[in-house]
Amino acid sequence: MNDVYTKFYNAFIVKERWKLYLSGLGITLEIAVFAGIIGIIIGCVVALMKLSEPRKGHKHSWMWYVATVYVDIIRGTPSVLQLLIMWFIVFSSSKNGILVASLSFGINSGAYVSEIIRGGILAVDKGQMEAGRSLGLSKAQTMKEIVLPQAFKHVLPPIGNEFITLIKETAIVGYVSLSDLTRVANQISSRTYEAFMPLIGAAVIYFILIKILTLLLSAFERWLRRSDIR
């Protein structure tokens, strides 16, 4: 028991190392939030591009092809490789690791969010679009006023799950020298010459954070179901 306490003391209390974990958690959340916002923006644009109507005589529009290539490339390559490309090639002159990581994860998340949003829009009955057009609304107005509000309920829960996944994916930012929660645990492990407590401690922090978000998401889904019944 004393040995466990000593390991805990060295991993969290000595030199106020618990502050390092909080700092790492802050960087993790900062990247995840910014990346989530970027991903939603990109996802909305790409989803609408994939739903764009083709020109007469064509199977798909040029926007559909651009969006499809983007989604295929992003979903077909590892996120860690995308991060390294952004850091060492695209933004090689930048020293702002948080910005580069947020853009990299945001672009990655956008591909998945676009499919979530596209699925949510397609889940709305086609008659809703026809009803809006019959009332004299343009396609854009019908999409904005009728279709998207209904699709909103379909896409929010999976987008919440995507954000949870995004938080865990940020654990690879140590590759570009960012001191997120995972890298902090590794650094403390190297200082204390003991891996168990720092790594388990970081795992517990991740678990608590994800569990809280999962419970909030579940409560929100129940609220959506109750509003549907009413």
**pLDDT tens, residue by residue, 68-111:** 999 999 999 999 999 999 999 999 888 889 999 999 999 999 99
Answer for the pair 118, 51: CB distance below 8 angstroms, yes or no.
yes
Question: 44, 225 in Cβ contact below 8 A?
Answer: no
Report the C-alpha gap between 103 and 108 in whole angstroms: 8
Look at residue 47 in the predicted model and tell me its pLDDT.
Answer: 92
- To the nearest 10 degrees (0 to 180), the angle between helices 148-169 and 97-122 is 140
Distance from C-alpha of 82 to C-alpha of 170, rounded to nearest angstrom: 12
pLDDT band of residue 219 (cuts 50, 70, 90) is confident
Residues 6+ apart with CB under 8 A from 106: 34, 35, 36, 37, 38, 39, 42
Give the whole-angstrom CA distance, residue 221 versus residue 19.
34
CATH topology of domain 27-179: MetI-like fold (1.10.3720)
pLDDT in tens, 17-34: 889 999 999 999 999 999
Helix (H) or strand (E) holding 152: helix 148-169
Q: What angle do CA 21, 22, 26 make, to 5 degrees?
A: 115
| Domain layout of the chain by residue ranges | 27-179
- Its pTM stands at 0.87
The pLDDT of residue 139 is above 80: no
Confidence class of residue 56 from pLDDT cuts 50, 70 and 90?
Answer: low
* Banded model confidence at residue 135, pLDDT cuts 50, 70, 90: confident
CA distance 44 to 33: 17
